[in-house]
Chain A
Amino acid sequence: MEAMRVIVSMAVAWGKQEGACHYSSLLAFHHDWSYSCLLTIKRQPLEPEVCSQEDPKAESDNLYERYLDSHSVDKDPVIDLWNMKVMLFLIFSVAIALVATFVTYLPDYKMKEWAGGEAELQEAQSLPFIDSNYFHLSKIILPDDDN
């Protein structure tokens, strides 16, 4: 019990920076194990001191406190609102619409439709679909074997 009081009083003493008198009074405390030195320390009402060791910063800024319709882009309500409007316009009306249109109307991607058309032509002439020769052999005109 006494040890607890000692600890508490030392905490109070170190917590309140009162100046030179406080340090010497602590020395006196140690010296004669009496509590009279404690009377020299000014009693201040104890303020609640919340000191978390891991997170000394204050709580994170609650954007909704200042501005109820916050879009969390900026602290200024006007910039926040207009930034969000611009972003939403650019994203949905410009980016996604243009990209989706581009991708939908890509002309004959990888020439699959052309290849299908060519295969149908070959089938109509009852030729094999693909030949190991790139050109028709009849279309290659070679010069004569003159020395």
Chain B
Amino acid sequence: MLKILIPTFMLIPLTWWSKNPWLWINPTTHSLLISIFSIMLLYHNSDLGYYYNTAFSTDSLSGPLLVLSCWLLPLMMMASQSHLTKENSNRKKTYLTMLITLQLSLIMAFSSSELIMFYILFETTLIPTLIIITRWGNQTERLNAGLYFLFYTLMGSLPLLVALLFMHNNLGSLHILTTTMMPNTLNFSAPNSILWYACMIAFMVKMPLYGLHLWLPKAHVEAPIAGSMVLAAILLKLGGYGIMRITIFTEPITMHLSYPFIILSMWGMVMTSSICLRQTDLKSLIAYSSVSHMGLVIIAALMQSTLSFMGATTLMIAHGLTSSMLFCLANTNYERIHSRTMILARGLQTILPLMFAWWLLASLANLALPPTINLLGELTVIISSFSWSNFSIILLGLNTVITALYSLHMLTTSQRGKFTHHTYPIKPSFTREHILMALHLIPLLIISLNPKIILGITY
């Protein structure tokens, strides 16, 4: 683990001591090299995982998420280059340091083998993200967005802290390896129910569950591009990862208490997909689509079957790459017309045909077209929830249809049709932007050829 942590930490002095012409090139190149090293985390030859020392471990659930977050750091840096050109050098370095600190805490969070350490790093990821949203966001609503983001997550995670300390007291250890061997006797009673809710609420807010999702459209929309990318791709997955880890402790009560959350998730999926159809703001549409996809992950994670865990992990990786790519595409629009309204930049297929190719592929991935892993994940979750309850297929099928509807609506509104007179003088696409899109899509397609690496612990 240190071979990834120490280079990532050393990116901070690299940023501060880089001269101005080298300021972007250095951290981007070095973080790309780090992500090449992180690929070794994908090698698993057993179900147990690798325990490097008492603090750090990886298994086939955290490995893909770690590789995803390492891969995204150079992409975030490349995406932020253009909107930061007017800032002075110290501010650019601060921005990069925030990204690198966030990356460090994410790597440690996903590789932590003890749940208290995971909790501390879960909270640590809030601070750089808050700074990125509130300082480098573009509109005045960013302050409100940062507040919502911070306090929703904090309100949810305070009960989690109490619950974790209580369980540590009772069980003696919260290490993942030992607790999988311990007998689970959390029986169904009122105090145990409160303990279960305390454990779950933080991750439900983070995912987000439908009723607790209000922070997400605000935070995603107001954040700058790197903030949106990291929020959509990784930070939401912290919630899913947390659910899958903490349900080891909370058997057998989960099968009784997960009903309200599963129902709320199913309903919320359909609701947020429908809201997507009525959005005028492009980033807001992508944010609500994230809520919808994460609803599927919540259903899968709470159903606790082997197939559903596979679907949850696959969906997390697939959605991370797809959603981040969609935010990058929305940002290319925003940088040209300085507005997030969808209809203001329409008919872009005739003006920027190569970018249309990326838009098309991203929208097709978003609507879970075969043979992408998005389809693999969604279909696995639908199959496993059908076996859980036959009626769930109505809502899940409805969600699939509406997902296809809003993805195509987004594509046709922004790309097809006649362009407006103020659209055609926009600048052509830059190589940097094409590289960004390619780097999101190529891993997605490579994984589609060989999806066993992202199928998670139950494969």
Contact = CB atoms under 8 A, between A and B. Distances in A.
Contact of A110 (B60, B430, B435, B450): B60
A95 B32 contact: yes
A71 B39 contact: no
A72 B435 contact: no
Contact of B24 (A73, A96, A110): A73
A64 B427 contact: yes
B53 interface: no
B47 A110 contact: yes
B36 A95 contact: yes
A21 interface: no
Contacts of A109: 43-45, 452-453
Contact of A96 (B33, B85, B432, B442): B442
Contacts, number: 91
A107 interface: yes
A73 B42 contact: no
Interface in A86-102: 86-88, 90-91, 94-96, 98-100, 102
A100 B431 CA distance: 23
B45 A107 contact: yes
A64 B428 contact: yes
B433 to A, nearest CB: 7
Given A103-B446, A103-B453, A72 B36 contact: no
A87 B28 contact: yes
Contacts of A55: 338
Interface string A100-114: 101110111111000
For the residues of A in contact with B, the DSSP-based class is helix
B35 A95 contact: yes
Given A83-B25, A110-B45, A73 B432 contact: yes
Given A79-B21, A103-B450, A107-B45, A72 B430 contact: yes
Interface residues of B, number: 40
B29 A98 contact: no
B408 to A, nearest CB: 29
Given A87-B29, A103-B453, A71 B42 contact: no
A63 to B, nearest CB: 8
Interface string B2-14: 0000000000000
A71 B32 contact: no
A83 to B, nearest CB: 5
Contact of A102 (B42, B82, B427): B42
B21 A76 contact: yes
Given A64-B427, A71-B430, A71-B431, A111 B46 contact: yes
Given A64-B428, A73-B24, A98 B39 contact: yes
With most chain B CB atoms within 10 A of its CB, the pick from A57, A61, A62, A91 is: A91
A80 to B, nearest CB: 9
A18 interface: no
Interface of A: 55, 57, 60-64, 70-74, 76, 79, 83-84, 86-88, 90-91, 94-96, 98-100, 102-104, 106-111
Given A57-B86, A100-B446, A110-B47, 15 more contacts: A61-B85, A72-B432, A73-B25, A73-B431, A79-B21, A84-B432, A87-B32, A88-B435, A99-B39, A102-B39, A102-B40, A102-B42, A102-B43, A104-B450, A106-B453
Listed from nearest, the 5 A-B pairs whose CB atoms lie closest are A72-B430, A71-B431, A72-B432, A99-B39, A83-B25
Interface of B: 21, 24-25, 28-29, 32-33, 35-36, 39-40, 42-47, 60, 78, 81-82, 85-86, 335, 338, 427-428, 430-433, 435, 439, 442-443, 446, 450, 452-453, 459
18 contacts: A55-B338, A64-B427, A64-B428, A71-B430, A72-B82, A72-B430, A73-B24, A74-B25, A84-B432, A86-B25, A87-B29, A91-B32, A96-B446, A98-B39, A102-B42, A103-B450, A110-B44, A110-B459
